[in-house]
Structure 1
Amino acid sequence: MTDLPIVGAALTLDSLDTHRDWLIERQRDLELQDFIDAEILDGDWHPLVTRLRALLDGYQGRMGIHGPFWGFTIASEDPDIRAVVTKRLLQGLEVCEALAATHMVVHSPFTTWSYTNMTKDPGAFEDVIERCHMTLAEAVRRAESIGCNLVLENIEDRDPAHRTLLANSFGSEAVSVSLDTGHAHCAHISHGAPPVDYYVRIAGNRLRHVHLQDVDGYADRHWSLGEGNIRWHSVFEAIADLQSEPRLILELRDHDRIRDSAAYLADLGLAQ
């Protein structure tokens, strides 16, 4: 039996049925992405959960959801906006409890603009951290109570350390770091950020979740692995040095290519 890590996938209800047997065969990591929209969270999502739970009969792997993110930042200066963001995150955690999901992806507040401007403004980084605490405090308590991990995903982040510092600032095992390989590679190629494996090594064992997708370094492609130019050997060598065993989630635009990407990694001898 190989010691190579096992990759899973980000799926919706529409694609879960197609990949169900593949997931259950190795109890692969799973991320459900049906709950990112306000319309779903404000509506009656319980029938959707019932259908998902039926499809997942026999599944015992690590499962989570992608949390809501459209149209907001977790570091808004406006207290009214922060209240809405808190509401959305709590709605997402309510879904997590109903599904017995144990992670929820939350988007990082750090931007290309903030990277180039925070240093010239004394206290600006600390202000971002404080606003994130105002927004997330209740969600962190809720996540702790239901055994869910809020994983902070890089979006525009140019400094890999920022999310780790933010996660650590909560002093809670319910907050940790996520990595999106495509976002990191775009930041590296287009904005001079470190390469993807550095994002892994700087997060260290605070890294608990990874979105695997390939890109050209210009746009957020979510291509099948091997179609872009990410150096996958260096990424998986860095992951192999961790003890945190992050969830490895293929997050592709074309869900029909998920098994192709898993096969690509297997052919390289990097994962199964």
Structure 2
Amino acid sequence: MSERSDPPGETPPVAHVAHNARVWNYWLGGKDYYDVDQQVGDHITSMFPIIREVARADRTFLGHSVRFLAGEAGIRQYLDIGTGLPTVENTHQVAQAVAPTSRIVYVDNDPTVLAHARALLAGTPEGETDYIDADAHQPQAILDAATDTLDLAEPVAVILLGILNFIDNTDEAEGIVKTLMAAMSSGSYLVLTHPTLELGGAGNVEAMRFWNENATPPITARTGAEIARFFQGLEVLEPGIVSCAQWRPGYVAADEKAVAQFGAVARKP
């Protein structure tokens, strides 16, 4: 692990298999990864060279969407599922910079993320942050735990960035979204990104196969039409379901290059 930054007194388990949270951290220029994560990350990059651009675009999309939600939309509560390792512009940092009273609940089930959770809890004195060790396959358990911090009678932004692609069955993934959004009040939002073989991502087929043979959890790409199913009953904001690098004109340059990762924000009526 390069320049390990684990919390004092906490020793993470030795990693023999690359894990998405750590490889993503490596692609984003972080330092919380093991040699196996770097090796797999480098091999994926050799097969699909724009993967680092995808990772950066996904992170930028998070900042753009949360700034919009905290500002123009007036959202003060966030449920960020599949948090990943802390890097720059985490959800609580972006939201609380706009609205210091914002409350954020992070959810992940990776031991390395748990070891770094204290960095995710360093929010503003006026707001509140919490971390739940839970699996996205169990949305009701997530909702039950989140109510310790969030008031579901008030609007909440549910953030699912690059997480549903680890739910292999599309019907199950759709059910997870439905369970989460059914518990949210009117005026809540769904924020989602998902890898695809569209948008120039056809070259990712072999890279995804390599990932599924050498890392965890296994990943599934989906089409724009499949991803649209996650937004049933919601009002998708302009510009719709697009490359996450091209979401929200005015936040990004009009000529920003598309990446093979869909992104969208939708409001619950």
User: When the two structures are superposed, what TM-score results if normalisation uses the length of structure 1?
Assistant: 0.36
User: When the two structures are superposed, what TM-score results if normalisation uses the length of structure 2?
Assistant: 0.37
